[in-house]
Structure 1
Amino acid sequence: MRGWKSPRIGRPLKRWGAVACEPRQEGVHAETARASSAMSPKWTDYIASKIRAVVGRPVESPRGSEAPLRAAFEQAPFAFQTYSPDGAAKTANQRWHELWDAPPGALDGYNVFEDPQVRALGVVDQIRCAFAGEVVRLSPIYYDPSRIGRQGEPRWIRVSFYPLKDQNGEIFEVVQVTDDITALVQAEAAQRRALELQRLALASAKMGMWDFDVNAQTVAWDARCRELFGATEPVVPLEVPMSRIHENDRPEVNAALEAAVDPTLDNAYDVEFRVIPRPGELRWVHATGKALHESGGADAIGTRLVGVVGDTTEQKQATQRKDEFLAMLGHELRNPLAAIQLAVDLLEQQGEVASIRERTVAMLGRQSAQMAKLIDGLLDVSRIVRGKIMVDKQEVDLTQLLHDVIAVREGNAKAKNIHLEVELASDEPMALCADPARLTQIFENLVSNALKFTDPGGTVKVVAERSNGCAVVRVSDTGIGFRPERADVLFEAFKQEPQDIARQRGGLGLGLAVAAGLVELHGGTIEAHSSGLGEGATFTVRLPL
């Protein structure tokens, strides 16, 4: 029924659904049988005459006999039940007995106005409309015969009441027509559950559903689709989504649409393209679908194309980062390998010259150490991601550890003409429970990162203090800085800012990711701050004391 949503199956209602009590009519005369019904039209024209015949009042049957009418009444697909004007049940057909699994005599003593379930559901007044001369149709209801002491399974039913009048206009009976719609209601409920599961699945996958009407050239799409394309209306002309597609991708999308609706190709719609939902914003999306064809063999045309679309921007960016990382990895590993190969060549050619041999050995040591550092960084990231890295916590003096880190990096700072300094709130030991090797790795990575992205003449400063039960260490520089909106992604592996500068400065972009993972393993936090490109950066580590 239009506008009706059935409640959950199997749960008795506290209220009956909305009741439609039609404007008062003159009733239904047995001879004319002009009752209107919600049931099949062929029954609406004859229902009164059938009931009138069965209850024993002679009528002039077109065939001169009541037998056909009586047979039709008994074999009707709907349950018929009759009442006297006071609401007492009189008779019922075979379908009614089958519907409620009722034995003969089940209606003895039953009065519709005294039914406690009818009273509890509050429809007595509506049913009285039928006994006053009006046709009454009740919305689908859940009726449980056991609540009035009768046998039979609870069912969803659709009930209509028809008053029968004699030639003097007096009501002598009211007919109740009951249609068992349990299977229909259950099917509707199952469909709603399936649609809800579908919506949940699409929402979980952050996908949207769309329906393209080929003939009307319109697209109906859900909220997720509209969000992806920057639209607001639920149904739009095809031009709207096409206008949001990147101009370089439109030919491919058009070709895929044409192929998908061509019955001779039987192609699924599967295409990935860029959309511009709003000025300055670009997304990658992946759309898939299938055409629904009209019957007609080879001449059939696709009338609808239905499918889903998902945002693949993050996957595209991840793939791009992977490709950039592999290119950078190859570049970074090739440099020390080239130097090692050169050292080998020198040893082969000038192996007896002591000075050349010493320089060559030193070169081999430096490049081997650089390659080992790159590989260790990769392994550390892998261990952190898989939760396989272990920390051996013990009492550590953070003050001395920071002095040691600065001492190790002073040579690098001097080589680049960078001023490297440490400022401690106190020279007293700052004890905390940590893995000394991993703690050293954290601050070496931060100081090395600051030195790498600071130009000659700049400053790198390490400040340590106590605050709110934590050791707070800030590593700041006057280097190239970063865009503030990228503060969080800096700690993701293989990300640097920007790629061309990263290539010039070297490294795989693993140092900050490793540092962040190790800080987390120590129960601490790390954050980055910069006012923008060229404004330097500050990295703050907080560790519990």
Structure 2
Amino acid sequence: MTAAGDWTMDAMGPDPEAMAHENAELRIQLQEAHDTLRAIQSGDVDALIVGSDIYTLDSSNAATNKLRQDVLSQMEDSVLAFDNDHHLVFMNPAAERLYGKTASATLGRPKAEVFEETWTDDAARQAAKEALDRQGAFQAISVHRTVDGSNIHVETRVSLLRDASGARTGQLYVIRNITERVEAERALQEADRQKDEFLATLAHELRNPLAPIRNALQLMQLTPSAEVHERARHIMERQLGQMVHLVDDLLDVSRISQGKVQLRLERTDLNQIIQTAVETSRPLVEARRHALTVTLPLPQTLMVDADETRLCQVVSNLLNNAAKYTPERGTIELSAVAADGHAVVTVRDSGVGIPKEYLPKVFDLFTQIDRTLERSQGGLGIGLALVKRLVELHRGQVSVQSGGTGRGSVFTVRLPLSSKAQPALGAAPHAPLEVASAGDLRVLVVDDNVDGAETLAQVLTLVGYQTRTVHDGLEALGAAQDFLPHVIVLDIGLPHLSGHEVARRIRQQSWGREMMLIALSGWGQEEDRKKSAEAGFNKHFVKPVDLLALTDEVRSYRS
């Protein structure tokens, strides 16, 4: 400084322009502070927001001020306020937790640094903006990206902030995290879709056995040949057994939907299973005019511990899959061999093939591979996921290979060979019905299905028993007292009186205490059998009844 009091600058001193700019900024801040103080003194300011705290300026409102702070700090919803330039001026503790930021570090920052807002489309964003301009508020569901990069689903209510004169001063956001709700809704939708997929697959699997049964019936109508009739009868028996097994599973839907299918493992000839599967799939194969080649080893050389019906499903599903995804007049090769202690079943087709990128997903549950041929066939999935699960339940593996689009597919199933002792070759799976030696054994058959009652009574008559049929619960009580049967075969679901009630009343009579009571029911779970036993039944059979087992039970009355 000179003697006259003037400032001088040496070469190393501060930049005059920078100092001038800094002085200008200080003058602006001082003016803002002066204006704020004057507004407070004139009563134009009711409260101050400092960080995340709100202070009322009227000391008489201290309780109200405390209440406001408590409400905002304890709210589960996030509350944020932005000025007209979209800079943050307030956020409550819930917002701090939601977005992983503190108010002290975030106040004054642009909204984009607090969260990134994602809209379903530009139209939704524009509609929200128009609602805010027109109505001063809007509510919407969107997705926010937090500081850690994760997405959260939020329900947002936005309203305009205005001063005493009505001028816009900013926007108030009240945000609720609905991520858990959205995920729960998606889980419900997925469960509903899985239910529909399960029912569609089950319907498909139930229809499969109907094809050979219908064909066998048509064969019997077309020719009187005893040989053809015998072969058709065997086909129907096998397919009916498969349907019964599947219906048994349907009766316990919760167990199946949770993947709790219990296998009925028996030492089984894989050759027979494959032949049954071929019968099931042949109508589809022939309808598409494919050439099917089946190569099998000698009978009883591929013995496996398997659930015959479930393993038949596996092979049939693979054959149906090959037939469906192979253009007409294609080739399908089915073979089975023993290798390294395993039975290896291979289904090879000349079909449309599988793109390389889809190979790892083929066995995933509900995977949809966009193939034109699938749409032309109606789009009903064959259920390769079911194939995989059933094979794994048999302690086996299933794999797929394909050279790509248009180069066919090869599915391979490996199952461990049975280590159990080999039974005598040629043993009949079922003994024939035997004619009873005593014709005085009386059997009462009670079923509201007239055809079912009459055919069962005819079988029992043919094997040597005296029979009578009635078709409701009240008739059953009268017939039991009049006919005094040794055995009553009694349906549970009867009109007028249930089978359980009929059994209880019979047991109360002196003439009914020694009778053998056999329950027939479409329900066969453990609880159903327990109810029958509590009502007084000696035995519980599930429809359709195994006649050999039933006649054996009737015969046991004498012993």
Q: TM-score range by the shorter chain?
A: 0.3 to 0.5
TM-score by length of 1: 0.39
- Of Structure 1 and Structure 2, the greater helix share is in 2
TM-score by length of 2: 0.38
Which of 1 and 2 has higher RCO (CA within 8 Å, sep 6+)? 1
